[in-house]
Amino acid sequence: MALLAFDQAFAKTGWALFDDSNKLVEIGVISTNTKDSDEDRINCIYTEALGIIKHYQNMWRTDDVPTMVIEDIQVQRGNVSTYKKLSYAQAAIMLLAAQKGAKLYVVSPSSWRSILHQKWGIDFGAKRADQKKVAKELAEEYIATANCNISTKITTDIADAICIGLAQIHSIGFDSR
């Protein structure tokens, strides 16, 4: 079964789609308009994510929807507003998974980074900027060496989604078929 990975956020949600053989086949970003109401932005995330599933439906071997994986949210150093908005984005994807009957995994940032560290010996560092830079480098290297036909520019949102997906693929007990 295919895997659809999200690095959800309220402004830009990165996503990465892996096919039945765990090959990265498409990437992108769901962008919301910061001037829209929270409700409209939640709807945008939900609708765009649903559109991804519908657009690539012919990729799956059955009528099943892809397994989905999202990054868990963390308290944002006392920034309640950011935490709430991240929870809205997370809820939009969780609702979609529930309505489509998709298996959903929620992984913490430290978990997916630890899995990739164990698999490839990658050190993400402690600072957010370093973590984003390393994830972007890993995603670009993966695309270059794994024969992925991807021409979209890799943003940090997309890079994190790719890394989340790769970690899920390489985590214990995940069978994409």
For the domain that residue 59 is a member of, what is the CATH number?
3.30.420.10
Q: What is the pLDDT of residue 80?
A: 87
How many folded domains does the chain comprise?
Answer: 1
Number of neighbouring beta carbons within 10 Å of residue 118: 12
Residue 138 belongs to a domain? yes
Q: What is the pLDDT of residues 48-80, one digit of tens each?
A: 999 999 888 776 655 567 899 999 998 767 788
C-alpha distances (whole Å) from 176 to each of 20, 61, 117, 147 are: 6, 11, 21, 19
Structural domain range at position 158: 3-170
Tell me the CA end-to-end span of the chain in Å, nearest whole number: 4
Q: Answer whether 66's CB lies under 8 Å from 1's CB.
A: yes
Q: Where are the alpha helices (DSSP H) in the chain?
A: 38-55, 80-100, 109-120, 128-145, 156-170
Q: What is the pLDDT of residue 151?
A: 85
Q: What is the pLDDT of residue 62?
A: 56
- pTM comes to 0.91
Q: What is the pLDDT of residue 176?
A: 41
Residue 76 belongs to a domain? yes
Residues in the chain with pLDDT < 50? 173, 175-177
